[in-house]
Amino acid sequence: MSPRDAHALQRVAEDEARLDGKLDGKLDGKYVGERAAGRRTNQSMGEVFAEFWRHPSPWLLGAALAAAITGRVLAGPGSWWELLIPVGLVAALPVVEWLVHVFILHWRPRRVGPVTLDPLLARKHRAHHASPREIPLVFIPWQAQLWLAPAWAGLAWLTTTSWSGSWTAMFTLLIAVYAIKSGYEWTHYLLHSDYRPKGAYYRRIWRNHRLHHYKSEHYWFTVTSAGTADRLFGTAPDPATVPTSPTVQRLHDLSL
């Protein structure tokens, strides 16, 4: 086993031991240093929940969700088939997560003539990989949220009102979208927080995400689930068979 592979496996094992409260101070000087500097290495759910609301993204998502709910109430009764909208979106979430992660967040900058195509979301995600424990980098950038809100409203109108004439369906779609985005934002934040998970299912999701950040950026792309779309697209290998990527914290080996 190469030193790089050993380091990656040690990081994952140490993080898991930290979650169980079994981390020996001699094992990981980094976390000892964090304790000495006053950084908590485990927090209660109440503490991480309070920290969550100190960042702009949850408030922006919450405001958009509240606006969608208000619009849905004012639009009046709808049709029974609108219930299929959130069901379909939840079913599609692992695949959508995978596609967004691979093709948008891991976008490699490209030059088209004199212009370099390097979107904000991709730049921020590279910074997130470089510093996975920096909490502000965990969230969807607020600048992106400002243009995503009208984009989602336009898309919802095109996919519902333009063919069904139903404003209720449009607001139902927006409620589902922002509820799912809020759930994603909370899950991703929790995975990078110092909360100590109790359930086996959450631990599987947590370890899946740790492998993506410390083992290889080419695998384990889902965030709110483990072994779903990654299995479908062949990106959930046995970690022991995957060499540790030298660019796992320097995506595309680009400077930030």
Please list the pLDDT of the chain residue by residue as tens digits (256 residues): 566 556 666 666 665 555 444 443 333 334 333 333 344 567 888 999 999 999 999 999 999 999 999 999 999 998 889 999 999 999 999 999 999 999 999 999 999 988 999 999 999 999 999 999 999 999 999 999 999 999 999 999 998 876 667 789 999 999 999 999 999 999 999 999 988 878 889 999 999 999 999 999 999 999 999 889 999 999 999 999 999 999 999 998 864 4
What is the residue range of 67's domain? 43-253
Question: Residue 114 domain-assigned?
Answer: yes
Residue for token pair 């088939």: 81
In 3D space, the residue among 236, 239, 241, 214 whose CA is nearest the CA of residue 225 turns out to be: 236
User: Which residues contact residue 143 at a Cβ distance below 8 angstroms, ignoring those fewer than 6 apart?
Assistant: 120
pTM of the model as a whole? 0.83
With respect to residue 10, please indicate whether it lies within any of the assigned structural domains.
no
Question: Total structural domains in the chain?
Answer: 1
Residue 49 located in a structural domain: yes
> What's the rounded Cα separation, in Å, for the pair 173 and 81?
12
Query: What span, in angstroms and rounded, lies between the C-alpha atoms of 109 and 96?
Result: 22
Instruction: Kindly state whether residue 22 falls inside one of the protein's structural domains.
Output: no
The Cα 3–Cα 56 span in angstroms is: 40
- Residue 1 maps to a domain: no
Residue 44 is encoded by which pair of tokens?
A: 């209660």
Q: Does residue 14 fall inside a structural domain?
A: no
Per-residue buried b or exposed e for 137-171, using 16+ beta carbons within 10 Å of the residue's own CB: bbbbbeebbeebbeebbeebeeebbeeeebbbbbb
245 vs 242: CA distance, rounded Å: 9
Whether residue 13 is contained in a domain is answered as no
* SS3 at position 111: strand
Residue 82 CA neighbour count, 13 Å, CB half: 22
Q: Which residues of 213-251 are buried (b: 16+ CB within 10 A; e: fewer)?
A: bbbbbebbbbbbbbebbbeebebbbebeebebbeebeeb
Characterise 220 by phi-psi region: left (phi > 0), alpha (psi -120 to 50), beta (else).
left
Residue 16 lies in a domain: no
